[in-house]
Amino acid sequence: MCATTIIFRRELAAYLRSPMGWVIAAITLLLDGVLFQAFALGAGKRLSAVALAEFFRYSTLPVAVAAIALSMRLVAEEREQGTMVLLNTSPVRDRDIVLGKFLAAFVFLTGVTLASVYMPLLIMVNGKISVGQVAVGYLGLALWGATMLAIGVFASSLTRHQLVAGIVAAAIAGCFVAFYFLSKVVDGPLKDVFASIDLYARHFPPFQQGVLHLAHVVYYLAVTYVFLLLAVKTMEAKRWQ
């Protein structure tokens, strides 16, 4: 059994056995339900496709909060409790540690996200929904969650304090979302650059509409890869400190 698999199973079991994982899951689904009622169902008469798109739009907030809450402890907690020394002295590479922890958090977050599938199905009570829009919408949420988790893992690799890691992760994610607003006030090549690297406004709306573009999938996968790579390089640098 490879090191990544061992770490993955250990971290996933930690989420399932600890109250923290279930508290995060409960809060995420509660926020999903409140936002669904307020903005998808409670905003007057509208087409079912529009209500479903609004559900996916506002679901990005609970998923982002849950991703940061799950990931901010992954590396910082090891340093805080002194167990990182054991990992560093074991025959485990830093990329195995990062990948195993990331995959465990991703599987748990994806399970929590899919648990909200009954909410779109409620739209069918008075309307009709497209299976394709639901599938593409949840794919978008999974990619969005993976990106947020990768940012959180990188932030967690920078410090031994979980709260600091959470704040740093939220700041990085906020900066990437703010690039859209920067693109509105600058001219020239920077306008297109900021619009292209924006984390939400350019790349996520097609998913909530049920439209699948390979470019947007590649974007989220690329950002996820970059931040996981940064986390590995950060851990490698701190190993020799």
Q: What is the mean pLDDT of the chain?
A: 84
Q: Cβ(170)–Cβ(68) under 8 Å?
A: yes
CB atoms within 10 A of CB 85: 10
pLDDT tens, position by position, 104-129 = 999 999 999 999 888 888 777 666 77
Residue type, 220: Y
Confidence of residue 5 (pLDDT cuts 50, 70, 90): confident
d(CA 137, CA 128): 16
Residues 94-102 have a mean pLDDT of 87
Q: Which of 100, 49, 51, 53 is nearest to 74 (CA)?
A: 100
What pLDDT sits at residue 198? 85
Q: What is the pTM of this model?
A: 0.89
pLDDT tens, position by position, 159-213 = 888 888 899 999 999 888 888 888 777 777 777 787 788 888 888 989 988 888 8
